[in-house]
Every structure is written in C-alpha cells, then in structure tokens.
Chains A and B, each alone.
Chain A
Amino acid sequence: EVQLVESGGGLVQPGGSLRLSCAASGFTFSSNWMSWVRQAPGKGLEWVANIKQDGSEKYYVDSVKGRFTISRDNAKNSLYLQMSSLRAEDTAVYYCARNIGYCSGGRCYALFDYWGQGTLATVSS
C-alpha cells in the first residue's frame, strides 16, 4: 500500500525557515517524480514544486522560486521541502504527492496519483 507521511510543519515567524519532510513507503520511491502541493486556508490546491527521480530536475511555481528548495533522498525514501524567507501567504497545508507523469498527445505532464494527509505550516508573528 502506497503511503506518504508528511512532517515538519509548525509555526514560524515571517522571514523564517522551515523544513518539511515526506516519508514514502509501499512503492519504489526512486522510480517516481515527486511533488509538493499546498492549500492555503479557505483556498484551493496549488502546485508548489516537482523533482525528478534522480533529483537532476526541479521545477517551482513562480511565487516560491529562490525561496523554496525541493530535494529527495532515495536511500531514505524521503522527500523534502526547505522553505526560507517565509511570508504570511505561505501559510498552508503542504501535501506530498506521487507524480506518475501522465502522457497524452505527445506531451507529458503531472498527474498526482497518491497524496499524503498534509502538514500545516503557519507563518505568523
């Protein structure tokens, strides 16, 4: 059974840092792209970042570029999100999601087939 368990959320002051972790099990972690998706209070889902199987490619939503870093440790079946220079608008539940790279019409893009239950990051003074 695929399981994704996030941790590391908490309360941090504006300008501070937080590191989120996601422990994966039930599948060959090193075979999948992985992603972070967030949901701000009362808002919809927002894709945050993707990372390729070997960590060689990383992509971010514009609003977090230069502040967030996605990484992974395939030996530990773990995904990470290092968040720095945090702002109030980064307050959200952050979900770890497995990305199976859906392909259609000659193009491949994200499809999130399994998600964790999320960890809440609150940025407030």
Chain B
Amino acid sequence: QSVLTQAPSVSGAPGQRVTISCTGSSSNIGAGYDVHWYQHLPGTAPKLLIYGNNNRPSGVPDRFSGSKSGTSASLAITGLQAEDEADYYCQSHDRSLSASVFGGGTKLTVL
C-alpha cells in the first residue's frame, strides 16, 4: 500500500486531455511538501517529468503540467500522443516517516 494514492489506470484518445491525481495526507502533501512526477516506460529508466508541483525540466513538452491543492496534486497531459503511454508516479516527502514517498503509479493507455 503506497503512502500516496493514485488511480491504477486512466485512458484517453489521441489529442484528448487526461488528468492523473495523487492524494496524500497531512503528513506529506498537506504538510506543504511539494510534489514531483515521473514518467516510466517498463524496462527503461524513469524520467523526471514535473518538479516542485508545476515546473518542467528542460526538454519536457508543455503538454505536461502539474498542480497541487491541499492534500492532493494532479498531472495533466493535453494533446495526448501515443508516445505518452506509460506509467506515471507522483513523489513527495513524508514528515512522519522522514522518507521520500511515491504513489502506486497510474498506467496511461492511449486508445
């Protein structure tokens, strides 16, 4: 059971917009810790997608955006492309555990 909760799967057609949510608690996201997002294609190295809730590293398309409110965060992907099909993970810090914590991951399927 992951500390941060994500829906197991989400899907969308090419060109559509999808959102992936990440729900935490008062000891992590709700405590003011920022959220980072990673994209992972099985068998490859995970890739940093969004850091500090809504910042994109160099090279990440602006189709990807993040937000945070209260004890939750969201990743939005607009203009879905086939290459976006991957697993997406949120990550933050938990002050009670004194540890980095991840969500269980959301598998995005592009229909």
Same complex = yes
Q: Which of B38-46, B69-77, B78-86 contacts A (4 or more CB under 8 A)?
A: B38-46
Contact A44 B102 (CB under 8 A): yes
Comparing A11-19, A70-78, A101-109, the segment that makes contact with chain B is A101-109
| B105 interface residue (CB < 8 Å to A) | yes
Return chain A residues, CB-CB under 8 Å to B98.
Answer: 59
Q: How far is the CA of A107 from the CA of B105 in the complex (A)?
A: 25
Interface digits, A19-49 against B, CB 8 Å rule (1 contact, 0 not)?
0000000000000000101000001111100
Q: Cβ of A110 and Cβ of B100 under 8 Å apart?
A: yes
* A47 to B33 alpha-carbon distance, docked (Å): 16
| Tally of chain B residues near chain A (CB < 8 A) | 29
Q: Is the CB–CB distance between A44 and B104 below 8 Å?
A: yes
Q: How far is the CA of A113 from the CA of B56 in the complex (A)?
A: 11
Q: Name the interface residues of B1-50: CB closer than 8 Å to any CB of A.
A: 2, 6, 32-34, 36, 38, 40, 43-48
In angstroms, how far is the closest chain B Cβ from the Cβ of A67?
Answer: 16
A-B CB proximity, top 8 nearest: A109-B93, A44-B104, A47-B100, A115-B45, A45-B102, A44-B105, A110-B100, A115-B46
Interface residues of A (CB under 8 A from B): 4, 35, 37, 43-47, 50, 59, 61-62, 95, 97, 102, 104-105, 107, 109-118
